Chain A
Amino acid sequence: MSMTHQITAGFMPLFDSAVLVAAGEMGFAAREGVDLTLHRETSWANIRDRIAIGHFDVAHMLGPMPLACSLGLTPLASQTIVPFSLGLGGNCVTVSNAVWDGMAAHGAAPDLDPAPAGTALGALIRERAAAGREPLRFAVVHPHSGHNYELRYWLAACGIDPERQIEIVIVPPPFMADALAAGRIDGYCVGEPWNSAAVAAGTGHIATVKALLWRNSPEKVIGARKTWAEENPEALAALLRALHHSARWCQDSANRDELAALMAEARFLGQPAKIQMPVLTGYLQLGGGAARTVEDFFVPFDKAANFPWKSHALWFYTQMVRWGQLAHTPENLAIARDCYRPDLYRAALKPLGVALPGANAKVEGALKAATPVGSAGASLVLGPDGFFDGQIFDPDRIEDYVAGQKPGGSLAQ
C-alpha cells in the first residue's frame, strides 16, 4: 500500500482493548496502510484529555464516554464520535466472599441468574440496614460507564435504590480486586480480567454478568476526535477496515492462545495468559469451586458486534438522564443521537462486501433468539438483545422510556 496513515491511539489495560491492540500488533493496521501507535493510559480522564489536545486521534473508550464528552459533562471535553464498537458484553459483578455468603443465605445460587441474585442482595441489604450496619459499597470504573449504568439497572430492577441503599464509588479497574480484598469495597462491576483475578485470588465471587443483564449489549468503543475524523476520512476508513479484520481474528477460537499471550504481555495487561481465557471461552470460575459457561459472554466480532448502533448510544443517554447526570432536553437528545456514526462504519466497510445492518438503530430487547436479518451484501445474524427484566427500549419512543423509568438520581427527586 503506497499511502501510510499515521494514527495514534490510547487504550486502558482491559481485555476489551484486544481488537485495537491486535490491529496494531498482528499486522492488520499495516495491511491497510495504517501506522498505528498504541499508548497505554492510566485513567479515562487521561484518554479524554489526550484526545482533546490531539495527542491521540482515536482511543479505546467506555461506550457512554464520547456522549459525555460531546454533551459537555466533563472538563476539557471535546466533540467525540463513535464509528466502531469494540465488542459486546465482557463485564461481571463481583462481590466479596462475605457478601456472597450473605446473598447465599438469602437464596442466591452460583448460577449468575440476575433476578434471584438481585433479590437475595436486596434481602441482605435490608437485613444489614435493620441491624444498623453501614450500607454496602460498590465500585464502578467511571460515572459515565456501562458498568455504572448496568449495575444501577440491575439493582433498581431488583427493588434496590442504588442512590440510597448502597454507596457507589469510583475505582480504577486494576485496583478493584485489591480494594475488595482489603475490604475498602464490598463489590464491583468491571471488565475482565479483573473479575477472574479476584476469583483466582480467592477474595471474590462473581454474582452475575453483563451478558445476562442485557444480552449482547454495548461496552467499549472507538472514540475519535470529531475534527480529526472529518479532516482524515481516508485514515479513519482504513483504520476501521483494520479493526474489522482484527475483530474477526479475535473472535476466531483458533487464535485464542495467541491472543491471550499477546494481551498478557507487560505492555498491555501484564496479567498471566491463563487469566485471559475466561473472557475468550465464556467459561467462568465464579468462586468457591463453582463454574459456569456464559453464552455470548464477550463478543468481539460476531452478531454485528462492531456496528455502532444509535440505539445503544440512546440507551446510555436515557441512563444519564435517569441517574441525574443530564437533563432530558431536545438539544441534548440531538447531540446523543449524532454521536454514534453507523454511516462512517458502513462507508468504510462497504468495499469489503461484508454483511452490514441496514438500519441505524434497533428496538433493544425485541430479539429473543439469534435472528438472521436483511442487510446489504452477505447474510447477517443478530444476537438476542433482551434485558433480564423483560423491558423493551424503543429508540423511537424515548419520551415514554424516560418517563417510565423508576425514580432515581437527583433530577427525579
Chain B
Amino acid sequence: MVRTSLAVLVIDENRIRASIIEAGLREAGHERVTVIHDVTGIARRIAEIEPDVIVIDLENPNRDMLENMFQLSRAVKRPIAMFVDRSDRASIEAAVDAGVSAYVVDGLRQERVKPILDMAVSRFNAFSRMARELEEARSELENRKVIDRAKGILMKSRGLSEEAAYTLLRKTAMNQNRKISDIAQSLVTAAGLLGPSEDE
C-alpha cells in the first residue's frame, strides 16, 4: 500500500498503452494518476498537477523540450533525473529497453519511486508483446487469404480439387525453398496480370 500517494503523470501519445499503464498504477493503489496524450500547453498542466513522477515513452520527440522545461522550472517540485540513484543501472537499462523514461522530483526516496517505474516498464513490455502478437495474427490472416485465392485460381484454371491445389502450392514452395504464402502471392499477382477475369 502507498502511504501518501504520489502524483504520477503519464505522457504517451498512444492512448491504448497509456490506459494500460494507468490501469496498472491504479490497481497498485496509486490514485493520483493523470494521462496526457498531447504535449500542447503541457507547462500549465504540469504546474497544476505538480507530479512527483513523470513517465514518458521514448518515441515521444518532445523529450528534449520537456527536459529543458524541467531544467528552467522555478516550481518547488522540480522533476530531475530519470532515477534518484544513478547507480541503479539495471533499472535504467530495463526502462530504456522497454522504451520508457521517467523523471522524478528531487529528493524522493528510491524505494517509493521504483515500484512505479517497474510497473511502467512491465506494462510497456506487455504492450509491445501484445502489439507484436497482433501484428503476427494480422499477417497470418493475410497469408491465409492469399493462399485461398491462389487455391481458387488453380482449381478454376487447372480443374484441381482444393486439396490438390494446396498440395501443388506446398510442393512448389518446398522445391523453391520459399514460403507457401510467397508462392501464392506470386500466383495471384501473375493471374491478375494475365487475365482480369480471375479477380472476379
The yes or no verdict on A and B being binding partners is yes
Binding site for B on A (CB under 8 A): 42-46, 49-50, 52-53, 55, 74-76, 141-143, 169-172, 174-175
Other contacts beyond A170-B68, A175-B61: 15, CB < 8 A = A43-B58, A43-B60, A43-B61, A43-B62, A45-B63, A46-B63, A49-B101, A52-B92, A53-B92, A53-B96, A76-B86, A170-B65, A172-B61, A172-B65, A174-B61
Please tell me if the beta carbons of A172 and B67 are within 8 angstroms of each other in the complex. no
Say whether B189 faces chain A, with CB atoms less than 8 Å apart. Answer: no
B residues near A76, Cβ cutoff 8 Å: 81-83, 86, 92
Say whether B198 faces chain A, with CB atoms less than 8 Å apart. Answer: no
Please tell me if the beta carbons of B58 and A42 are within 8 angstroms of each other in the complex. yes
Cross-chain contact of A42 among B60, B68, B86, B92 (Cβ < 8 A)? B60
Q: What 6 A-B pairs are tightest by C-beta distance, nearest first?
A: A75-B81, A45-B63, A172-B61, A170-B65, A43-B63, A42-B61
* Shortest distance from the beta carbon of A169 to any chain B beta carbon, whole Å: 7
Binding site for A on B (CB under 8 A): 58-65, 67-69, 71, 80-83, 86, 89, 92-93, 96, 101, 103
B residues near A55, Cβ cutoff 8 Å: 96
Assembly CA distance A53 to B68 (angstroms): 21
Provided the pairs A43-B60, A43-B62, A76-B81 are in contact, do residues A49 and B96 lie with their beta carbons within 8 angstroms?
yes
Please tell me if the beta carbons of A44 and B64 are within 8 angstroms of each other in the complex. yes
* Shortest distance from the beta carbon of B97 to any chain A beta carbon, whole Å: 8
Closest to A50 in B: B96
* Shortest distance from the beta carbon of B110 to any chain A beta carbon, whole Å: 15
Cross-chain contact of A75 among B60, B64, B65, B67 (Cβ < 8 A)? B67
Q: List 11 A-B contacts (CB under 8 A).
A: A42-B58, A44-B64, A46-B58, A49-B92, A74-B67, A75-B82, A75-B103, A76-B83, A76-B86, A76-B92, A175-B61
Cross-chain contact of B93 among A53, A75, A143, A174 (Cβ < 8 A)? A53
* Shortest distance from the beta carbon of A69 to any chain B beta carbon, whole Å: 13
Assembly CA distance A44 to B65 (angstroms): 10
> Which among A45, A52, A143, A171 has the highest number of chain B CB atoms within 10 Å?
A45
Assembly CA distance A295 to B58 (angstroms): 38
Assembly CA distance A169 to B62 (angstroms): 12
B residues near A42, Cβ cutoff 8 Å: 58-61, 63
A residues near B63, Cβ cutoff 8 Å: 42-43, 45-46
* Shortest distance from the beta carbon of A162 to any chain B beta carbon, whole Å: 14
Please tell me if the beta carbons of A45 and B86 are within 8 angstroms of each other in the complex. no
Please tell me if the beta carbons of B61 and A143 are within 8 angstroms of each other in the complex. no
* Shortest distance from the beta carbon of A324 to any chain B beta carbon, whole Å: 10
Cross-chain contact of A45 among B64, B80, B92 (Cβ < 8 A)? B64
B residues near A53, Cβ cutoff 8 Å: 89, 92-93, 96
Assembly CA distance A46 to B89 (angstroms): 16
B residues near A172, Cβ cutoff 8 Å: 61-62, 64-65
> Which among B63, B82, B92 has the highest number of chain A CB atoms within 10 Å?
B63
Closest to A73 in B: B71
* Shortest distance from the beta carbon of B178 to any chain A beta carbon, whole Å: 25
Assembly CA distance A76 to B63 (angstroms): 13
* Shortest distance from the beta carbon of B181 to any chain A beta carbon, whole Å: 24
* Shortest distance from the beta carbon of A64 to any chain B beta carbon, whole Å: 13
* Shortest distance from the beta carbon of A173 to any chain B beta carbon, whole Å: 9
B residues near A169, Cβ cutoff 8 Å: 65, 68
Closest to A182 in B: B40
Assembly CA distance A141 to B80 (angstroms): 20
* Shortest distance from the beta carbon of A133 to any chain B beta carbon, whole Å: 21
* Shortest distance from the beta carbon of B103 to any chain A beta carbon, whole Å: 8
> Which among B64, B83, B92 has the highest number of chain A CB atoms within 10 Å?
B64
Assembly CA distance A189 to B83 (angstroms): 32
* Shortest distance from the beta carbon of B169 to any chain A beta carbon, whole Å: 33
Closest to B104 in A: A75
* Shortest distance from the beta carbon of B138 to any chain A beta carbon, whole Å: 21
Assembly CA distance A49 to B83 (angstroms): 12
A residues near B81, Cβ cutoff 8 Å: 75-76
Assembly CA distance A388 to B92 (angstroms): 44
* Shortest distance from the beta carbon of B55 to any chain A beta carbon, whole Å: 14
Please tell me if the beta carbons of A142 and B64 are within 8 angstroms of each other in the complex. yes
> Which among A53, A141, A142 has the highest number of chain B CB atoms within 10 Å?
A53
Please tell me if the beta carbons of A171 and B65 are within 8 angstroms of each other in the complex. yes
Assembly CA distance A55 to B94 (angstroms): 12
Closest to B99 in A: A46
Assembly CA distance A143 to B72 (angstroms): 10
Assembly CA distance A75 to B61 (angstroms): 17
Closest to B69 in A: A170
A residues near B61, Cβ cutoff 8 Å: 42-43, 172, 174-175
Please tell me if the beta carbons of B101 and A45 are within 8 angstroms of each other in the complex. yes
Assembly CA distance A50 to B63 (angstroms): 14
Assembly CA distance A50 to B97 (angstroms): 9
Please tell me if the beta carbons of A170 and B64 are within 8 angstroms of each other in the complex. yes
B residues near A49, Cβ cutoff 8 Å: 58, 82, 92, 96, 101
A residues near B69, Cβ cutoff 8 Å: 170
B residues near A74, Cβ cutoff 8 Å: 67
A residues near B101, Cβ cutoff 8 Å: 45, 49
